[in-house]
Amino acid sequence: MDFETREEIDGVRLSFSCIPKSRLQHQRNVVPLGAMYTPLNNKSNIQVLPKEEMLACRQCRAIANPFVTVNNEIWTCPFCGFTNRLVLNQIDPDTNNYVLPPALHETSSTVEYQTGRLSSLPPIFFYVVDTCFVADDVEEFQSLKESLIISLSLLPENALVGLITFGKHVQIHDLLSNDNRAYTFNGSKEYTLDQLSKSLGLLAPGLNIHHSRQAHGSGVDDILGTIGRKFLQPVNIVEYQLTNIIENLATNTFPHSKFKERPERATGAALNTASLLLNALLGDHIKTTGGHLLCFIGGACTSGYGKIVDNLLKEPMRSHHDIEKAQQSTLPSAPTTSTKTKVDTSLFKSARTFYKKITSNLVSMGLSCNFFIGSYDQVGLYEMDEICYKTGGVVVMSDSFSTAIFKQSFIKFFKKQDEDNSEYLDMGFNATLEVRATSDLKVEGLIGNATALPVRKDNPFAEKTVSQTVLGEGSTNSWKLCNVNPQSTYALYFEKLDSGFTSFAFVQFLFHYQHASGEMRLRVTTVPLSIIPDSDIVNLERGFDQEAALVLLARDAINKMQPDNTNAKNKPIITQLAVVKNLDKNLVDFCTRFSVFTPGILESFRLSSSYALLPQFLYHLRRSPFINVFNNSPDETSFVRHVFMHEDVNNSLIMIQPTLLSYDIDTFGAVDETTGLVITEPEPVLLDSLSLGHSKILLLDTFFHILIHHGKKVAEWRKAGYHEQPEYVHFKEFLEAPKKEAMEILMDRFPLPRFIDCDEGGSQARFLMAKLNPSTSYATNPNHLFGFGDRFDVFTDDTSLQSFMEHIQRIVTAQK
Amino acid sequence: MASVAASPTNSHAALYTASYNNSQQNQIYQQNPFQPSQNQNPYQSNQNFPNTNNHLSSAPVPKVLRDMNHLSQENEDLSLQQHRYANQVEYTSANDAGEFRSFYTFQNVSPPEATSQFHAVDQGTSSSKFIRSTMYYVPESESLRAATKLPISVTIRPFAPLLASEEPVPLVDMKRDDIGANDDPLSKGPIRCRRCRTYVNPSFQFTNDGKFMCNICQFPNNVVPDDYASVLDGQGYRIDRLSRPELHKGVYDLLVPDEYNFGGPEVHSQPLHHIFLIDISEQSVKQNLPVIIADAIRATLYTDDYDLDNYDPNEPETPNKRVKQKFAFIAFDKSLHFFNLSPTLESTQVVISSDLEDPFVPFSEGMFVDAEESKNVIEDALNQLESFCSQETVADSETCFLAACRTAMLCLEAVGGGKITSILSTLPTWGPGALKYKDNKNVGRSPAPLMEKRLYSVDNEYIKLLGRDFVEKNVGLDVHVISPTSVDLSNIGWLSSITGGTISRSSNFNFERDGRSLTAKIINSIKKASGYQGQLKLRCSNGLQVSQYYGTSSSIADTSVVGSVQDPVIPVLNEDQTFTILLEYDGKLSTKLDCHFQAALLYTDPDGVRKVRVINLVVAVTERLEDAFNFADENAIVTTIVRDTLSFVGKQPLTELRESVNSKLVEIFTQYRAMSEYGHNTTRTLTNQLLFPDSLVHLPIYLLAFIKSKAIRDSTAISSDVRLADLYQMLSMPIERLMYLLYPALIELHSISEEEAEFEPTNGFFSLPKSKEVSASHLQKGVYILCDGMKVYVWVHPESNMMLVKDLFGDQVESVEELNPLIDELPELPTHISEQARNIVKYFQTYIVGDSSLESAGIRLVRPGIDGVEHEFRELLVEDSLRGSMATNSSLGYPEYLSNLHKAIRVKLDNDSSSNKVKQSVTNAENHHDTLAQRLIHF
């Protein structure tokens, strides 16, 4: 089974599908053993089986799968070796043999079971809306309101909705009153759960009287209680009121000098209030449902807890540089004579701590927090990112709420499932992922948008699968995934121990989630890994997935750079430089391990095709915005990293090494000599400055940007208006072809990428130039000062891929 | 000057006038500060005034009461009602030529009785409408003053309403913006004395060399700025003085530059911001208050040409640029309900906050709005307010009024302060600063002094801090209490009082009967607001200094807000505010000069224009005791004594206060008697006669009424809230209202003549019929209208003539018992008597009570033996002794009181030691210029 097929069926990609038997031999392989798991993978149809078909090992509770050995009504659990009885009662009339339960069918490596349990509450969609829009942005606010109202119609009918708006202060809107009432809370104060429920008149959790009433009806109203109902209601009941409230929302800005101050915005308090409110409302039913906090943020948090910058404009927003400096300096800084206002570095530390608390509250409720940002400047995502990282929320970053990026991404957020006009949202709520592995594999951790759960103490076999080494969210074999959509992909890292006399090791993913229908489901994916002799290099190579390997390496590297992962455990700070150095070292080790070369002879260096792409990927990874934060704001870095942590292998690859398609006027529309077909398809070209051309249109896809770059000649023609003349229909088609292609990409991408249409030499072309491998930079062209020739120089000091590789080869071959 | 004498019908007066002319008139003229020879008044020389000789010559003489045994209210000389009537008639009745007498502020010395309507002509010193002094001949030294035992004080009403026929207060642009920024900041804005900072006024003496001398401090070297220089005419006056109001008027407003803004030149002055703070707790909803408030707000904002009232067409702004007052609503129960009134909204948004510990302003835009722009949204908000009354949900029973006040203050802080108009229906017991009932263990007994101190003084720390913040941030609070139980006015009333707010209290509220009066009160709170961010400063001639302010923040002791003699800051100003300022000697006044007062009130008017209202008063200085007595002003003296006494409530027991009022009266009369016996009328001393200073004839009845007033009456049946509500109102109400409050007007309907009780069409004067003495013995079986300055009562005897009753209440009425006890107005009937009665009520409501929007409504029907309010009515008959539980021993009838007074004087004079002291003080005052030899003769 090749990697793509497995990914389609099981949603799993492994870095090595064949692993050496011994632990030591495996360690020599440099690349970590890991799996990229996409639980809600929708690339193939998954069987849904009723609860009765689920067979669990009586000892370790692992689920029976096609890989178990069945012998005389007995199946042996591969994870613990326990033998379980298999009740066979159906007889195939044709063969007169007992029919194996569907779970054991060959095709059932991934199956989904209905557990028969329903969530007691429909999913929650809680809106947290910024109302700090100053005079000029009123249109933007209007547009935001429209989007919000549209979104109400996209929700499932029974979804619970609630609304909090904030400016300098936080307002919780009462949905049942026709008077448009709201309860307000001080934006500069941190409320406790107790204070909040008291001031709203909610009973403290534990004192809820409805607890007893649950027996004869656990309807929404019963669970929420009379007062709680004001704030959380099924959308089909309150759609009218909510629409009214949203339409009538007033901005909450306090007078401030436009040239001296930022508006006061208490984002932190709003998030805190929202999480506390839901906590108070759900009370005992805290774990009963999943849902989303939808936060719409129009600017930096400047007031109250979680503020990232003072509201005086003279104080600049923190940059990567400030953050790095603050982390390093332990000595009091020397007095400075500079008159420049310094960034208050204490702010982001305290802000991160504050948001951490909110995160843990949300995670405990199984709610995810999504950020929709409409701001030209930073809003403090860097401080808040933990909330969306750990709860699996999405982040959409746009310049304004009136942009298509926001509007369409937001609508796409409520995408329905593809199959037969399904009413169900294409997402899973409040999920947990548990990983089981055979005894020679241990789980080191997970890197992705999830939070570690404590190890289950009631199952000794769960504990056994946990490795001592911790990577990412580790020390456990189960994680909370508050929000999962079909793209959500998690990187799992395994430690390989010495294997016994088995030919396979197994990993089982138990993905328990709330289906959009409210049903609780369990999806089980079992993946076999072949154990090969230590000396078997052929199979090792065959089982090596360099793309998955790259993504696993990348996630690990990026994860190391997350601020909390370094600070919390008092580890030495891992700087960008250290990470890059580590990547380089890995690459050298990798090349040393897998390349073929004669020591001392540079030209003799060879890598087989299964390994050959990795160095190039790593080169681009080093230059990518995930590692290289230069020229990015902390918010942008947070954003791109967050998206990276969410996407599957293919999309991750695009992010690391953008794809470049080329349309050439000279070949476009020509008839292919061999097939006789008209060539309208673009030609994928190298991400290299050599691919530029005056007569070409280039289509760059970096995942975040879609860029169409017109060569000089093409642009001139277009400006001359040739495409409008009937005799140049061909040229018109040529111009439109890349746009069609771009639209197709735009269609199913979330969040919507930024679309850039530019001409050669134009200012926007910089997005393309920055991505290209500078094989022709001015550094390599001695004549650049004279404008020599028809070259496309990239103005950069970066090394090109060629010289990078040459260097690596030199190091590798120089070794003895 | 005793105006009794001015009445031509008074034979005594005529007699006295003749004798007085011979002996004293010349001297008076010599003392008259307004003689041309003194070059003080520019008008004397070039203006022809009507001959007022008759008036001036009616100088006072001692009044002698022949027989103590026949003392009665009928005595014309002693009748206050007669005095008021006579004084009133003098100004409001036209002479044969159809002309009305005017009061000329320089020529006519003593002002008319405070209760009179009169037309004043401002001649460079202010009329008594704006400032009233206790003495119009100020003693030159403390010892002379001490011999009179009379206080020297002025009572200022900066925004006194004027008659339509009177010239409005002129506005002078003194911004003088063209002065370069580099100049001395002290030279910016109005012309002022460099030493004492007196504002330019008609008494500045300009010289030809571009300097001027200050009339207050006599500093001669002030330099006139070039842009203000003018040539002097032959008599030494600036030739431009008639074109400049500040050089020939007693009262004027000065526009001042930004340097005078509150908070400095960078802060832009805002129009006045109002917050309605509305109680929506259970008690309030029960009484339907939200409905009334909503109505009142509608009436305030949308009926009549309210906005046009404020609009001064002379202002340089174009109408569309005009800034307006803004309004906000906050309702409160246990939490605060803010209404977002932004005009961009379709309907209002209610924002509820229950965080009372850290109050905050939930939103900014839409908090304060223009009434016109947000009309629809406001209407929606008011509807919601009304719907609180119809909601099925149970309203909170407690309120967080004080936290609401603090929040309102935070809202107003951002706009430079403003006014809170609040409705309170119950003791605020929720949230920070919650109040407790002050348990009074002395129910049924007179409380012990310690208990009194606790009952009547502020003891809540939250309120003390709030008070300080209010004053600092220029937030004023009007409280309308509608509660049958105590709301602890000792705290809340204090808060309102120091911020320039008004307090009204209604304990027995009935929606049908009292709704309209409450509406009128709320309308008044808004419409009568005449400015905010006020700072009052009184400057006076060398020799005097300010000793005490009453009725403002700086008069309330035990506040660390500001010291007791610091110039008061008055957060909000209204038309009815009066401030009494007590003066003391720090030297000697010069008899060669006059005594000048200048009250300057720096304030921001409701449209956000920063102004100074300057009120100048010039009075003469005398070295003669008689002058001091004869030109004393009864109204001002009563006001001062009342306010001085009230300022000790909470510090001294009420018994002591009452005693001190009595002894004050005895002292004054003793001094007068001593003076009369010694100086001039030794022959006329008769021990069985009570000598009244002519100008102070009614002092005993006023002070008797004061002792019987609810504020300090010796009674165990009056709750502390009732006392304090009256007390705080008495501290700041206009003098005429205070006079009526002490001694009500009582009109007998069945005896008024055809021509009376009509409004004069030309100038609005009202021919008020002569009142009856307020005594039960004067009540016949008929209909009476009584006004005590706060309320208007209609007293209907059950056995009244049914013709009269039908004419007043309608033909359908068959007996007095049938009348609806809840009516609050006399029906409009075509009968003449009905019109007259309604006119009388309207006059009282408009001019005395000050609720002009009530027209002729808002009355209380009193039927003896039928209505419970009779009890209340009885208490107002101050000449009678009060019976039963209403009061105890100190509530004597008037005749007894006078005879007690007489006895006390006699005892005091007969007692050797005290008599000597008195005599000596009088002698000293009279003769301290004399040589030792001369003085020895007297002994």
Q: What is the CATH number of the domain that holds B421?
A: 3.40.50.410
Whether residue A243 lies within 8 A of chain B, CB to CB, comes out as no
- For the CA atoms of A77, A82, A88, A94, the dihedral, rounded to the nearest 10 degrees, stands at 50
- In this structure, the answer to whether residues B522 and B540 fall within a common structural domain is no
Is B414 strand, coil or helix?
Answer: coil
Tokens of A388: 């969306």
Q: What is the pLDDT of residues B772-803, one digit of tens each?
A: 888 888 888 889 999 998 899 999 999 888 88
Residue A606's CATH number:
1.20.120.730
Residue-wise pLDDT tens digits, A459-514:
888 888 899 888 888 889 999 999 998 889 999 999 999 988 888 999 999 999 99
C-alpha distances out from residue A504 to A19, A78, A438, A499, Å: 9, 9, 9, 9
A360: burial class by Cβ within 10 Å (0-12, 13-18, 19+)?
middle
Residue A103 in any domain: the answer is no
Q: How, if at all, do strands B336-340 and B783-787 pair? A: unpaired
Domain of residue B913 covers: 894-938
* Domain membership flag for residue B676: no
SS3 A625: coil
Contact in structure between A154 and A411 (CB atoms under 8 Å): yes
Q: Can you give the residue range of the structural domain that contains A716?
A: 658-772
Q: Is residue B329 part of a domain?
A: yes
| Residue A311 sits at the chain B interface (C-beta within 8 Å) | no
Answer yes or no: do B510 and B554 share one domain.
no
Minimum CA–CA partner of B431 in chain A: A199
Whether residues A566 and A467 share a domain: the answer is no
Q: Are B588 and B442 contained in the same domain?
A: no
Residue after which a domain boundary falls, among B632, B664, B684: B632
Distance between CA atoms of residues A287 and A362, nearest Å: 11
Give the integer Cα–Cα distance in Å for A647 and A83.
Answer: 39
pLDDT band for position B265 (cuts 50, 70, 90): confident
pLDDT digits (tens, 9 = 90+) for B194-223: 888 899 999 999 988 888 999 998 888 788
- Do B648 and B283 form a contact (C-beta atoms < 8 A)? no
Give the count of domains, chain B: 4
Asked which of B632, B649, B675 is the last residue of a domain, the reply is B632
Taking each continuous run of H as one helix and of E as one strand, the counts in chain A are 24, 29
CA distance B682 to B694: 17
Provide, as residue numbers in chain B, all residues whose Cβ is less than 8 Å from the Cβ of A191: 355
Q: What is the pLDDT of residue B736?
A: 92
DSSP string, B585-629: ESS---TTS-EEEEEEEEEE-TTS-EEEEEEEEEEEEES-HHHHH
Residues A140 and A209 in one domain: yes
Residue in B with minimal Cα distance to A180: B349
In a domain, A85, yes or no: no
Structural domain ending residue among the three candidates A351, A381, A412 = A412
Q: Out of B468, B503, B527, pick the residue that ends a domain.
A: B527
pLDDT digits (tens, 9 = 90+) for B827-876: 999 989 999 999 999 999 988 888 888 888 889 999 988 888 888 888 88
Mean pLDDT of chain A: 86
Same domain, A517 and A436: yes
Residues B400 and B286 in one domain: yes
Q: Which amino acid is at B280?
A: I
Does B115 fall in a domain? no
| Residues of A with Cβ-Cβ distance to B365 under 8 angstroms | 250-253
Same domain, A642 and A631: yes
Identity of the amino acid at A536:
D
**Average pLDDT of span B602-606:** 92
What is the Cβ-side half-sphere exposure of residue B618, based on CA atoms within 13 angstroms?
Answer: 28
| CATH assignment of the domain containing A321 | 3.40.50.410
Do B281 and B257 share a structural domain?
Answer: no
pLDDT at A224: 74
* Residue B518 or residue B885, greater confidence: B518
Q: Which pLDDT band holds residue A528 (cuts at 50, 70, 90)?
A: very high
CB contact (8 A) between residue A250 and residue B363: yes
CA B16, B19, B20, B21 dihedral sign is: positive
Q: Do B353 and A185 touch (CB under 8 A)?
A: yes
Average pLDDT over residues B120-124: 89
Angle at B287 between CA B284 and CA B288, to 5 degrees: 85
- A439 and A408, same structural domain? no
For an interface test with A, the pick among B329, B363, B369 (most A C-beta atoms closer than 10 Å) comes out as B363
Strand partners, A484: A428
Residues B466 and B544 in one domain: no
**Model confidence pLDDT, tens digit, residues A623-634:** 999 998 888 899
Where do we find the tokens 């074109």?
B243
Radius of gyration in angstroms for the set of CA atoms belonging to chain A, rounded to a whole number: 28
Question: Quick check: B350 and A179 CB within 8 A?
Answer: yes
Q: Quick one: average pLDDT of A538-567? A: 86
Q: Domain of B58: which CATH number? A: 3.40.20.10
For residue B734, how many C-alpha atoms fall within 13 Å in the half-sphere facing its CB?
24
**Helices and strands: H and E segment counts in chain B:** 26, 30
The verdict on residue A812 lying in a domain is yes
**CA dist., res. B352 & res. B357, Å (int):** 14
Q: Who's near A451: CB < 8 A, 6+ residues apart?
A: A359, A363, A390, A391, A473, A479, A480, A482
Do A489 and A598 lie in one domain? The reply is no
Angle at the Cα of B652 (from B646 to B658), degrees rounded to 5?
Answer: 60
Please check whether residue B410 touches A, CB under 8 A.
no
The span from the CA of B480 to the CA of A140, in Å, is 45
Distances (CA, A) of B234 to A549, A555, B123, B807: 109, 100, 20, 66
In this complex, the residue of B349, B352, B387 whose CB is nearest that of residue A248 is B349
Does A226 share its domain with A349? yes
Q: Are B166 and B287 in a shared domain?
A: no
In whole angstroms, give the CA distance from residue A516 to residue A642: 24
B436 and B343 inside one domain: yes
| Facing residue for A180 by CB, picked from B350, B358, B363 | B350
CA atoms of A207 and A525, how far apart (whole Å): 42
pLDDT at residue B104 above 60? yes
Q: Distance of CA B906 to CAs B661, B739, B902, Å? A: 18, 29, 6
Query: B755 with B772, same domain?
Result: yes
Report yes or no on A67 lying in a domain: no
| DSSP code for A353 | H
Residue A543 tokens, joined: 């089982």
Q: How far is B423 from chain A (nearest CA, A)?
A: 22
Report how far residue B526's alpha carbon sits from residue B327's, in angstroms, rounded to the nearest whole number: 10
State what percent of residues in chain B have pLDDT above 70.
82
Does A303 lie in the same domain as A395?
Answer: yes
Total domains, chain A? 4
What is the tens place of the pLDDT at every residue in B482-515?
Answer: 998 888 888 999 899 888 899 999 888 888 888 8
Same domain, residue pair B298 and B359: yes
Q: Are residues B521 and B578 in the same domain?
A: no
Q: Is residue B5 part of a domain?
A: no
Q: At what angle do helices A381-391 and A267-282 cross, to 10 degrees?
A: 30
**3-state secondary structure at position B196:** coil
Contacts of residue A570, Cβ cutoff 8 Å, sequence gap at least 6: none
Same domain? For A436 and A579 the reply is no
Radius of gyration of chain B (CA): 28
The answer to whether the CB of B572 falls within 8 A of the CB of B501 is yes
The answer on pLDDT for A304 being more than 50 is: yes
Beta strand B131-133 pairing with B595-604: unpaired
Q: How far is CA B96 from CA B5, B100, B101, B764, B766, in A?
A: 21, 10, 11, 19, 18
| Torsion over CA: B687, B689, B694, B696 (sign) | positive
Cis peptide before B319 (omega within 30 of 0): no
Residue A504 lies in a domain: yes
Sheet with B211-213, strands from edge to edge, namely B205-206, B211-213, B222-223
* Residues A495 and A524 both lie in one domain: yes
* B714, pLDDT greater than 60: yes
Q: Are the beta carbons of A255 and B340 separated by less than 8 Å?
A: no
pLDDT at B39 over 70: no
Does residue B69 have a pLDDT over 60? no
> Which of the residues B364, B384, B393, B400 would you substitute to probe the A interface, choosing the one with the greatest number of A C-beta atoms within 10 Å?
B364
Read off the pLDDT of residues A750-790 as tens digits, 9 standing for 90 and up.
Answer: 889 999 999 988 889 888 988 888 887 776 666 655 555 55
Residue B728, in any domain of the structure: no
Question: Does A336 map to a domain?
Answer: yes
**Would you say residue A591 lies in a domain?**
yes
Q: Are residues A622 and A738 in the same domain?
A: no
Chain B touched by A250 (CB under 8 Å):
yes
From A509, A543, A577, the end of a domain falls on A543
Looking at the fold, whether A343 and A212 belong to one and the same domain comes out as yes
CB–CB contact B353 A255 (8 Å): no
Per-residue pLDDT band for B765 (boundaries 50, 70, 90) equals confident
CA-to-CA distance for B665 and B794, rounded, in angstroms? 33
Q: Do residues B197 and B127 both lie within one domain?
A: yes
A180 at B interface, C-beta within 8 A: yes
DSSP-based three-state secondary structure for B884: helix
Q: What is the DSSP letter of A98?
A: B
Whether B810 maps to a domain, the answer reads yes
How many C-beta atoms lie closer than 10 Å to residue B44's C-beta? 17
Within-domain flag for A71: no
Closest CB to A250: pick one of B344, B353, B354.
B344
Higher-scoring residue by pLDDT: A55, A296? A296
Who among A169, A179, A251 is closest to B362 (CB)?
A: A169
Q: Which of A182, A199, A255 sits opposite B350 (nearest CB)?
A: A182
pLDDT tens-digit series, residues B615-638: 999 999 998 888 888 899 999 999
Instruction: Give CA–CA dist B816/B809, Å, rounded.
Output: 9
